[in-house]
Amino acid sequence: MAKLPVPGRAGGQAGLTGGAALTIDPLAEEPRAALRALIAAGHDAVLVGGCVRDLLAGRQATDWDLATSAAPEVVNDLFPGSHWENRFGTVTLPGSPLIEITSYRTETAYRDRRRPDAVSFGASLADDLARRDFTINAVAWRPADLATGEGRLVDPHGGIDDLRAGVIRAVGDPDERFAEDALRLLRAVRFSLRFGFAVDPATEAAIVRAAASVATLSAERIRDELVRLLGDPAIRPSVAFGRWEQLGLLRVLLPELAALRGVPQAKPLAGDALDHSLRTADALAAGDPVLRLAGVLHDLGKATTLADGHFIGHEIVGAGLAEDVMRRLRFAERDVERVRGLVRQHMFGYDSSWTDAAVRRFMARVGLDGLDDLFALREADTAGSHVDAPTLDRTGELRERIGGQRSAPLETRQLAIDGHDLQRVLGIGPGPAIGRALARLLEAVLDDPARNEREALLALAREELRRDEAGDSAHHG
């Protein structure tokens, strides 16, 4: 494993012409083989960026970025099965771990704050490192002996000193770096929290100046960055969104969430509604970023529903707002429905007077797949209010009762008959009437699961059909 070299030996021009010696032992075979192939073909090739940063910090690299003097079409031809996926010269190799090889390049202006207007290959490694975002990512390792893992660092921007000092600093002029790509504002925050680093004051001031520019980012890029942030176990959402708010990013990216600032909570220890929402997300597992996002968004409706000290219907309003946010950020439909349902149901009430049928209806309304999520959100909501969970509600008892009902039919597809049976036996034509009939049968089975028998359900369907026909005759008569 690599480690940081002696202070002061890698930065400046020495970083270009012969930086500190660094042995990577062991160097994974996949990047070793890729470097060997490029060098054997007569090209300069280095490890660069995040993998070098992580190795220097004593972390295991999982993805590998290589940079080379070879043109992208040459790289593509050199590695069978590779994929040249964009005009920026990035070639992805087949297999695992992920290895991306990018040709040395320079870039012109970024008029859309996302992509350079033009890219030129044939640049030097120095030019390539100068276009990168932060100094800790503008470090390369040039191999000297791949068999032993010996090589030298290339660090013209003092990235190693910043890595040692724990500083996120833009390469060169921070205003220029952020004008090139507004996503770098969000990455600066995420990197600082992920590694526990401070943001260089000049870089932070530039983030504040450029905060409005994040509105120009595509929905997909914001979504992906949000998922990375919420999925990182090293990052507490309350700290991350607090930094977004401090730097002027939150009101641009998530104005619905920013609107919770100053909305009072009933429980004084919980702070305001924004504080409470973010602490709720803190209490949810980082391994499920969409569930954490539900925690962030679960009380959006409180910004507009406060009346007489209560938030009447805030879960209904909030479900609509959460859905709007998710659709705006181009989340997958399954994620939109998951979060919308959780926000809509998070205020469920329970007491011991519920019948078994009421428990089954609750299960059907939430869905078996959503029950664990909903209980996790409720417990996190409680923790976010600084309230002891057992004193707030009786979800433990409800969990036990649900356990005894999990074998009961909860969806129309679990009924002993289906729409084809209704059409064939009762002579009902296809259409909405079939869906309504199945819904009524499910209601009957939720009341009494023993009714989920083919003949009993057909008899009930006949009875419902006669009742409908009689109602229609009376109406038209």
Rounded CA-CA distance 343/337 in Å is 10
Considering only CA atoms, which of 341, 400, 350 is closest in space to residue 373? 341
Considering only CA atoms, which of 71, 65, 20 is closest in space to residue 46? 65
What is the chain's Cα-based Rg? 29
- Whether the link from the prior residue into 7 is cis, omega within 30° of 0, is no
Give the pLDDT score at 179.
95
Give the pLDDT score at 387.
62
Q: How far is CA 342 from the centre of its chain?
A: 17
477 burial type by CB count under 10 A (0-12 exposed, 13-18 middle, 19+ buried): exposed
426-439 b/e (C-beta count within 10 Å ≥ 16 → b): eebeeeeebeebbe
Rounded CA-CA distance 368/352 in Å is 21
Rounded to a whole number of angstroms, the distance between the first and last alpha carbons of the chain is 88
Rounded CA-CA distance 294/8 in Å is 46
| Per-residue confidence in pLDDT tens, the chain, 477 aa | 565 554 443 333 334 345 789 999 889 999 999 999 999 999 999 999 999 999 998 888 889 999 999 999 999 999 999 998 766 679 999 999 999 999 998 764 545 455 555 566 667 899 899 989 999 999 999 999 999 999 999 999 999 999 999 999 999 999 999 999 999 999 999 999 999 999 999 999 999 999 999 999 999 999 999 999 999 999 999 999 999 999 999 999 999 999 999 999 876 566 899 999 999 999 999 999 999 999 999 999 999 998 877 899 999 999 999 999 999 999 999 999 999 999 999 999 888 899 999 999 999 999 988 999 999 999 999 888 876 555 455 688 899 999 999 889 999 999 999 999 888 887 877 888 888 889 999 999 999 999 999 999 999 988 877 776 655 544 555
For residue 89, give both structure tokens.
């010269």
Task: Give whole-number Cα distances, 462 to 3, 218, 418, 421, 448, in Å.
Answer: 77, 54, 14, 12, 18
Give the pLDDT score at 20.
87
HSE-CB for 450 with a 13 A CA cutoff:
0
Considering only CA atoms, which of 36, 25, 35 is closest in space to residue 3? 25
Rounded CA-CA distance 162/11 in Å is 10
Rounded CA-CA distance 223/340 in Å is 16
DSSP letter (8 states) at residue 212: G
Domains and CATH numbers, the chain: 14-168 (3.30.460.10), 416-476 (no CATH)
Q: What share of the chain is helix, strand, coil (3-state, %, to 5)?
A: 55, 10, 35
Q: Note every long-range contact of 27-36, with CB atoms under 8 Å and residues 24 or more positions apart, other chains counting.
A: 27/146, 27/149, 28/61, 28/64, 28/97, 30/64, 30/93, 30/95, 30/97, 30/99, 31/64, 31/66, 31/99, 32/146, 34/64, 34/66, 34/79, 34/93, 34/99, 34/101, 35/66, 35/143, 35/146, 36/146
338 burial type by CB count under 10 A (0-12 exposed, 13-18 middle, 19+ buried): buried
The type of residue at 216 is T
Considering only CA atoms, which of 100, 179, 177 is closest in space to residue 134? 177
Considering only CA atoms, which of 273, 271, 110 is closest in space to residue 183? 110
How many C-beta atoms lie closer than 10 Å to residue 107's C-beta?
19
Measured over the CA atoms of residue 98, residue 140, residue 157 and residue 196, the dihedral's sign is positive
DSSP letter (8 states) at residue 413: G
Give the pLDDT score at 306.
87
Task: Give whole-number Cα distances, 242 to 44, 170, 246, in Å.
Answer: 43, 21, 6
Contact assessment for residue 361 and residue 332, using Cβ atoms and an 8 Å cutoff: no
Give the pLDDT score at 271.
85
